[in-house]
Amino acid sequence: MKLAIVGATGLVGQEVLRVLEERNVQFDELFLIASAKSVGQKIKFKGKEYSVKSIEEGCELATDVAIFSAGGGTSLDWAPKYAEMGTIVIDNSSAWRMDPTKKLVVPEINGNEIKADDKIIANPNCSTIQMVLALAPLHNKYKIKRIVVSTYQSVTGTGKDAVQQMMEERQGIDGIKVYPHRIDKNVLPHIDSFLDNGYTKEEMKMVNETRKILGDQSIMVTSTTVRVPTVGGHSEAINVEFFNEYDLKEVRQILENTDGVIVQDDVKNNVYPMPINSHGRDEVFVGRIRRDESQPKTLNLWVVADNLRKGAATNAVQIAEFLMEKSLIY
């Protein structure tokens, strides 16, 4: 088993390495790949030092699996080339998510859709992953009609430079600018670029990816995505309308029995999910579970997860683990 991490020096790439170590994923050889400016850089993993290789070298290695966390442009250019060499690419960017020939996978929900001939597998958007993990079991039981979601997303979702901008602003330093406005002590209703319909790409990702992962194009979804000055952890206020009536106690039981979900919902004792407590965790946390009293068959949820973990690195590693468990790597 030869494994490559493409984008190994970035925030997500570094998190992938942490997840691989924590989960004790078994492989025979590991290759760390990054952009030309990082080639030759030394990275330690499990006590061993690795020298970063170029993306061209990584392709020639013909590894069994390559986890890509290097941006959409790189994925569009290089994922097909890696696939031609026989490598299974698990891609963290948005490049392949809505390609009808590619699977968009959250293993707990639709991992069984992966087949032996899938050479490029898309990892969903971070905000989509945590939402669908909470909603999929409820959709199976009550059938979702409509979702209204507002997100509160960490600067880590943008990358290292965004974290640096916020920290410099916090210290009164006029430094790097990733966002069009100040982010510290502020919120920006602006994630990714704006489209002609007035929504951002991030908002439309949540619409389109949710339908694809849940396998139901009839689900109505509307989204507002907001950047907030936190480090690690996305939060979401979700309002979901079902076709069928639900029982609140049963909803809690379903969520409590869902793999990868932890219910934190004891408002009398101020217990509810918060991003500060999700940092470094792989689970999706659900709380503030309550009936929408303004219309029937509608539920409110508050959902939190570490966007670099289940929202990116952990989900990608879980896909690799699934491939190994199902003997789809050979």
Which residues have a catalytic role annotated?
Answer: 126, 234
Residue with tokens 């390559």: 66
Residue with tokens 């069928």: 244
d(Cα 83, Cα 213) in Å, to the nearest integer?
23
CB of 307 within 8 A of CB of 156?
yes
Strands 234-242 and 298-305: antiparallel
